[in-house]
Structure 1
Amino acid sequence: MEIKRLFDLIPFQITKYDKEVTLAKKENATWKTYSSRDVKEIVDNLSLAFINSGIGAGDKVAIISDNCPEWNFVDFALQQIGAVSVPMYPTITSDDYEYIFNHAEVKTIFVGNEEILKKASKVSRDRKIFSFQRLKGAEFWEDFLATGVNGDLEKLESAKENVTELDLFTIIYTSGTTGRPKGVMLKHSNVVSNVLNIEKIMTPEPGTSRALSFLPLCHIYERASSFAFYYIGYSVYYAESMETIADNLKEIKPQVFNTVPRLLEKIYDKIVAKGYELSGIKKNLFFWALNLGHKYDPAADMGRWYDWQLKMANKIIFSKWREALGGEVMQINSGASALQPRLARVFWAAGIRVCEGYGLTETSPVVSASICTKEEMRIGSVGKIIEDVEVKIAEDGEILVKGPNVMMGYYKEPELTAEAIKDGWFHTGDIGELDGRYLKITDRKKEMFKTSGGKYIAPQVMENKFKESSLIEQLMVVGENKKFPSAIIVPSFDGLRDYCKHKGIPYTEDAEMIQKAEILSKYQREIDGLNKYFGKWEQIKKFTLLPRSWGVESGELTPTMKLKRKVIKAKFENELEELYKL
C-alpha cells in the first residue's frame, strides 16, 4: 500500500510484517510489549476519545514526556483526526512552556511524570492535562482512552479520509541559540518523503531487527527515525533512562540505534580511562589497538600488514567494545552535531559502524546521511545527499536545500519564513562544501567571527578538535574583534581525576583543582598539542577553566546541547575580560 500520511504506517506494518513486538518499554522490571495490532487498536480508540472530547482537525495538543509507547499512541491518534501535535522538551522552563502553549494555541496537554506536571500546571491555565502515570492533578491517559472504546469507527474513518498528505501534522518549536523558539510547521508529506528515503540507507534486516531508542521523541531526529523504524519493521525498545542505556544495550542487543556525538565521546573516554587502569602487556596491547584504530579509513586499502594487525586488535581488544554495545549492532546513526573524525575512525576499526548524517527540523530532518558500507563511508563528511533532495552551496558558503522535506514555514512568522526560504531554497545557516554528492559541514554562518586583524575564525571546527582531549568536557572559542582567540573551558572532571590518580596528585574539590599550577600547566600542554592543527591566527592563546558544567536548565545549552553563545558570554563576562587584560 502507498504511504501518503504518517498514520498510514500502522496498517502498512500490519499488512507487511504483522509484528509481535512493535513497541516496548520497561515496566516493573519486565518489558511490556505492543504488537502491530495492539498499536492500531489503541490508536483508533484514542482517536475516538479525542473526537468525543471535542478535539478535531487543526486543534493543537502538547506532548511533554520522556520516550514511551504512549507518546507514539497520542501522536498517531492526533494525526488520524487531523489534529496537530506540539511536542516539547521536558527539560525546558515553565516560561518556555507558557510561551509555546499560548503561541501555538494549545488546547490539551499530555505529560509524562509528576515533575513535568508541576511545571505545566503552573502555566496551563484552564487547559485539560492528561498524564501517562496516575498523578493527582491530571487525568490518567488510560481512563481517557476508555472513553473511545466501542466508539463509532465510521466517524473515525471519515476523519481519516479528510486528512491529506499536504495537511499540517505537527509544530515543532526549535530551541534556538538566541531569542524565543520558532514553531516549525511540518506536513505529512515532508516527513513521509524522509521516511521513504531513510529506509534506503538502513543496513539492519527489515522486519526482524531491534532498535533501542533514547534520544527525545520531541526532536525531529528521533521522531522521524521512529516512523522509519515502523516502515522497515524494526521493533523499538525505549531505554528506561539515559543512566540505564549501557544495561539496556546488553539486554536488548539492538542492531541499530540513534545517538549524538557527545554520548559516543563519553563512551570512548570511559574506555580509554579503563585502558589507563591496565598495566604491563595488557596496557601496551590496549593502546597499540587504540592507535591502530585512529589511523583507520574504511574506504581505503590500508595494506595487508595493517589489516592483519587490525584483525588481531579486533580479537584481543575491540571485541569487548562490541560486547558492551550488545554485540549485534550493525548501524549507529549519529546526528545533531559534528562527530570527531578520530571517533569515527576508531569505532569503524572496532567493527562498530557509526554513520554520521546532517539535517534540521526545517528539513524533516535528513538532508544527507552516510551509507553504512566501507566503500561509501567518508570520514569527515556527513554523508551523501539523500534522494529527492537538492543541495547547493551559496557564494558565501551557506548550504541551501530544496526538496519535498522542506517545511511549510514558521508558525505565525511569515517574515521569518520568507527570510529562510527564498526561491524555494531553504537557507540552513550552515557553511559547507560539496564533493559530488558528499557534504561536509565547516561551521555555522552566524557563529563565524573576525579577529581585530581581520582573520576569520570558525569556532565549531576548533571546538570539536579541542574536545578530543579527555580532559575537556565543554569549550567555547571567543575572540571577536580581539587580537587573538581564547577559550572558556569546562574540564572533564572524570578525566581530570583519572589524570591526577595516574600522576599521584591528591584530588580535593573541582573548583580548587582547576586553580593549581600543575593542573593549569597540564591544560596548557593539551591546548598547545591541539593548536598545531590550526593556522597561527586561529590558535588559542589564553584560556580559563570553569568549575561547573553548562546545562539546559542553567541556560547555557539548548535542549539539543548546542551552545547558547550570547548567554555564555553574558554569564562569564568577568572571566572574558580577564583573558584580554594587558
Structure 2
Amino acid sequence: MSTSNTLLRLSRAASLCELFQHTCATRAGDIALRTLDGGTALTWGEYGARVRGLAAGLAALGVQHGDTVAIMLTNRPEFNLIDAAAYHLGAIPFSVYNTNAPAQIAYLFSNAANRVVVCEEQFLERVLGAKVDSRVEHIICLGNAPAGTMTLAELEALGDPEFDFESRWRAVRADDTITIIYTSGTTGDPKGVEMSHRNAIFGTEAMLGIPEFASGCVGRVVSYLPDAHAINRWLAHYMPAITGAAVYTVPDSKDLAAALPVVRPTVFVTVPMLWYKVEAAVRAALAEEAGLRGKVAAWALEVSHRKVAADLARRPVPLLLRLQHLLTKRLVLARLLEQIGLDQTTIAYTGAAPITLETVEFLLALGIPVAEAWGMSEIGLATSNRPGAQRVGTVGTALSRVEMRCLDDGELLVRTPGLMKGYRNDPVRTAETVATDGWVHTGDVGVIETDGYVTIIDRKKELIINSAGKNMSPANIESAIRAASPLVGSVVAIGDRRKYVTALITLEPEAAAAFAAEHGIDPSPRALAADPAVRLQLDEAVATANARLSRVEQVKAYTLLPVFWEPGSDEITSTMKLRRNVIAEKFAGEIDALYEHGQA
C-alpha cells in the first residue's frame, strides 16, 4: 500500500462508501472477513456483493437516507455486512451493547427512533421487551427466527434485483452521519455521539503518519471488543474498508488469548487488563523453566530490559548489548512472541485506562511494540506514542491536524477533524462539551510538555482530594493494584475528603476460577473472598502497589467484596469504566467500615 496514494484518496473521498467500493474492486480476491474456524471466509469481492444485496433488502423495508438501524450482535462477519449495507444507503447503523437490559435498549431505541433491528436469537427476548414503546417495525433475527421476525436470507431475498445501489451510495456525503456511539454512561442516560463519514475516515488518515501503523494496517486485525465501542468500529470495520485488512471475528473476548496465535494480528489494540494477563502468563511460564533453559530465558529478558531502557532514555546502545539483544531475540523472544500470537504485530496499542510503567517496559522487552494512545468517542484518536520515539507514562503527541491545550485547572481541550457532529437530540449537553470555536472539553486532566508529549492524570470529576487537600488520581492507585496480581479484577480507590486512601477490590473471574481449581477452593466469589490463601495474595498485591505509590496514595485498608463485577453490570460499564457514584451508594457500609478505626 502506498501511503501517499492512500492519503490522497482519503482527502478526496466523498464518503467511506467510496473507499469501501475502491477496496472491493482492487482487493477482490483477498480475504476480508473470516471467523476463527474458517467456517465463514469472505473475500472483498464477496463482501461487496453481500453488502449490495443486503442494502437492497433494507431499502425494500423502507430504510432511507438518514434512517437508523439498530444492531445487537456479537463479533461476527454479519455485523460488518449489515452495518456497511446500511451506511451505503446513507442510513445510520448503531450497535447495542450485548449486556444492555431491556430498559436500556428501550432508551436507545427511543433516542435513535429506529424502525429496524438486527439481532441474534439470544438477544431477541430483550429486544422484544424494549420495543413495546418504540417505533420498531422490523426485526431481522440471526438464528431461529420466530413468527414476526425474518432471517438474514429473507432480508436479502426481499431486495429488488433492479435496485439502483450505485446511485444510493454515491449520494452519501462526508458530513452524513455514519453511526451513533452510545457512551456507556457512568452517570445519567447514555449520550449518543453522532459520527460522520468524515470522522470515520480521519481516524485512519491521522494514523497513517506512523510508519508501523501504515505497514500493519493492510494485514490482519481481530474484532473482539464490542462494536458498540468506537475503537472496534474503527479498527475492525472502518479502517479495513480503507486499507483492505482482513478482519478475524472473535464472538467471546474470553477466547482472545487462544485466538491471537491463529490470527497473528499486524495491528492490535487492547486494554491494560489484558496486558497485565500477558505479563503474568509469561512470567509464570518462565518461572517454570528449569535448568539451562530457565537461565537462558532470565538472561534474555535481562538483556532486553537493558536494551529497552537505553532506547527509552535515548542513550546510545553499546555494540555488545546490541549483539546480545539480537541473540536473545533469536533464541528466546521470537519463540515467546509466536506463542502469544503477536510475532507479526507492527504496532500494539494500549488505552482506555492507565497502565503501569513496569508493564509497558516488560512488554517492550518481550518485543511487543506496545504504545500508549488516547482518544474519546467525541473526538476519535487524538494522541499516540510512536515506536522509536516512545515516552512511557505519556500517551504520546497529538496526531496530525489535532490541536491541544490545557485550561488553568488542567483540563485538556482538543480541536480536531475527528470531532463528532454532536450528541443526538441533546443540544444542551453538546454545547456543554463543544465550544462554539470547536474546542472540546474532554473532562480529562493532563499535562502537555513543552515538546508536545501528553500525560493523562485522571478524569476531572474523579480526582480524589483528601482531607488535607492533596489531589490524587484514583486511576493511578487502582492500576498499580491491578498490575500487582492477576487475581485482581476491579479496584475502587476511596479517599475523597478522607484522611487516607482505602479500596474496594473484586476478583477477576477467570483468574479466580483457576486459583480455586489449583488450591481446591470453592470457586464461588463468597468462598474465595473468605479464603486465607486469596487474602494473602491480595495483601501481597496491595503491598507491592504501595511500594510504587507515594505515601499519601498508599492504600491503608481494603475490603475484598464477595462478588464478581462483569462488564455492563450496575458497578462497571460495558467498557470497564467504574460507576463510582453507584458503587459509593451501594457499598456505603463497607466503605464506612474501612474508616471506623481511623489510621494515620
Q: Same fold (TM over 0.5)?
A: yes
1:281 CA drift (Å): 4.9
Partner-residue secondary structure (3-state), 1:85: strand
**Residues 1:193 and 2:202 aligned together:** yes
**Residues 1:127 and 2:137 aligned together:** yes
Kindly report which structure 2 residues correspond to 1:224-239, keeping only aligned pairs within 5 A, or say none.
224-225=234-235, 226-239=237-250
Q: For 1:523 and 1:186, how far apart are their aligned partners in 2?
A: 42
Q: Aligned letter for 1:8?
A: E
Q: Aligned letter for 2:506?
A: V
The verdict on how the C-alpha distance between 1:206 and 1:469 changes in structure 2, with shifts beyond 3 A counting, is closer
**Residues 1:389 and 2:402 aligned together:** yes
Partner-residue secondary structure (3-state), 2:226: coil
The verdict on how the C-alpha distance between 1:244 and 1:501 changes in structure 2, with shifts beyond 3 A counting, is closer
The verdict on how the C-alpha distance between 1:360 and 1:203 changes in structure 2, with shifts beyond 3 A counting, is closer
1:511 CA drift (Å): 3.6
1:13 CA drift (Å): 1.0
Counterpart of 1:487 (choices 485, 489, 503) is: 503
1:294 CA drift (Å): 5.5
Aligned to 1:567: 582
**2:216 and 2:345 in contact (8 A); partners too:** no
**2:71 and 2:95 in contact (8 A); partners too:** yes
1:453 CA drift (Å): 1.6
Aligned to 1:548: 563
Partner-residue secondary structure (3-state), 1:362: coil
Describe the superposition over 1:120-177 as per-residue Cα deviations: whole angstroms up to 9, x where unpaired: 1112235311023343253111210122251332xx3333343221122222110021
Q: Aligned letter for 1:341?
A: L
**1:169 and 1:186 in contact (8 A); partners too:** yes
1:494 CA drift (Å): 6.8
**Residues 1:174 and 2:191 aligned together:** no
Counterpart of 2:103 (choices 90, 95, 99) is: 95
Kindly report which structure 2 residues correspond to 1:405-444, keeping only aligned pairs within 5 A, or say none.
405-422=418-435, 423-435=437-449, 436-444=451-459
Q: Aligned letter for 1:129?
A: I
Aligned to 2:113: 105
The verdict on how the C-alpha distance between 1:523 and 1:291 changes in structure 2, with shifts beyond 3 A counting, is farther
Aligned to 1:330: 346
Q: Aligned letter for 2:123?
A: I
Aligned to 2:6: none
Q: For 1:517 and 1:331, how far apart are their aligned partners in 2?
A: 41
The verdict on how the C-alpha distance between 1:274 and 1:484 changes in structure 2, with shifts beyond 3 A counting, is same
Aligned to 1:369: 384
**Residues 1:531 and 2:546 aligned together:** yes
Q: For 1:518 and 1:24, how far apart are their aligned partners in 2?
A: 43
**Residues 1:114 and 2:114 aligned together:** no
Partner-residue secondary structure (3-state), 1:151: coil
Query: 5+ unaligned residues in a row in structure 1: which ranges?
Result: none
**2:528 and 2:562 in contact (8 A); partners too:** no
Kindly report which structure 2 residues correspond to 1:431-510, keeping only aligned pairs within 5 A, or say none.
431-435=445-449, 436-470=451-485, 471-492=487-508, 507=521
Counterpart of 1:62 (choices 56, 70, 90) is: 70
**1:13 and 1:19 in contact (8 A); partners too:** no
Describe the superposition over 1:34-73 as per-residue Cα deviations: whole angstroms up to 9, x where unpaired: 2222222222222222222211122111011112222122
1:246 CA drift (Å): 3.2
Partner-residue secondary structure (3-state), 2:70: strand
Q: For 1:440 and 1:338, how far apart are their aligned partners in 2?
A: 10
The verdict on how the C-alpha distance between 1:65 and 1:498 changes in structure 2, with shifts beyond 3 A counting, is closer
The verdict on how the C-alpha distance between 1:443 and 1:257 changes in structure 2, with shifts beyond 3 A counting, is same
Partner-residue secondary structure (3-state), 2:483: coil
Q: State the TM-score, normalizing by the size of structure 2.
A: 0.88
1:278 CA drift (Å): 4.0
Aligned to 2:359: 343
Partner-residue secondary structure (3-state), 2:456: strand
Aligned to 1:354: 370
1:426 CA drift (Å): 0.5
Q: Aligned letter for 2:199?
A: N
Query: 5+ unaligned residues in a row in structure 2: which ranges?
Result: 1-8
More moved, 481-490 vs 341-350 = 341-350
Counterpart of 1:264 (choices 275, 284, 292) is: 275
Q: Aligned letter for 1:259?
A: T
Aligned to 2:232: 222
Q: For 1:501 and 1:34, how far apart are their aligned partners in 2?
A: 41
**Residues 1:244 and 2:255 aligned together:** yes
**2:27 and 2:45 in contact (8 A); partners too:** no
Q: For 2:512 and 2:73, how far apart are their aligned partners in 1?
A: 35
**1:450 and 1:457 in contact (8 A); partners too:** yes
More moved, 297-306 vs 562-571 = 297-306
Partner-residue secondary structure (3-state), 1:34: strand
**1:10 and 1:39 in contact (8 A); partners too:** no
Aligned to 1:160: 169
1:516 CA drift (Å): 5.4
The verdict on how the C-alpha distance between 1:279 and 1:500 changes in structure 2, with shifts beyond 3 A counting, is farther
Describe the superposition over 1:428-478 as per-residue Cα deviations: whole angstroms up to 9, x where unpaired: 111111232322211111100211121112101111122221243321100
**1:194 and 1:366 in contact (8 A); partners too:** yes
Q: For 1:367 and 1:305, how far apart are their aligned partners in 2?
A: 39
Q: For 2:167 and 2:33, how far apart are their aligned partners in 1?
A: 27
Q: Aligned letter for 1:477?
A: A
Counterpart of 1:20 (choices 30, 37, 42) is: 30
1:411 CA drift (Å): 1.0
Q: For 2:58 and 2:336, how far apart are their aligned partners in 1?
A: 47
Counterpart of 2:335 (choices 300, 313, 320) is: 320
Kindly report which structure 2 residues correspond to 1:255-294, keeping only aligned pairs within 5 A, or say none.
255-290=266-301
1:493 CA drift (Å): 7.2
Describe the superposition over 1:87-117 as per-residue Cα deviations: whole angstroms up to 9, x where unpaired: 1111121111111111211111011x22211
Q: Aligned letter for 1:424?
A: G
Alignment root-mean-square deviation, CA: 2.7
1:382 CA drift (Å): 1.4
Partner-residue secondary structure (3-state), 1:574: helix
Q: For 1:159 and 1:501, how far apart are their aligned partners in 2?
A: 57
**2:478 and 2:491 in contact (8 A); partners too:** yes
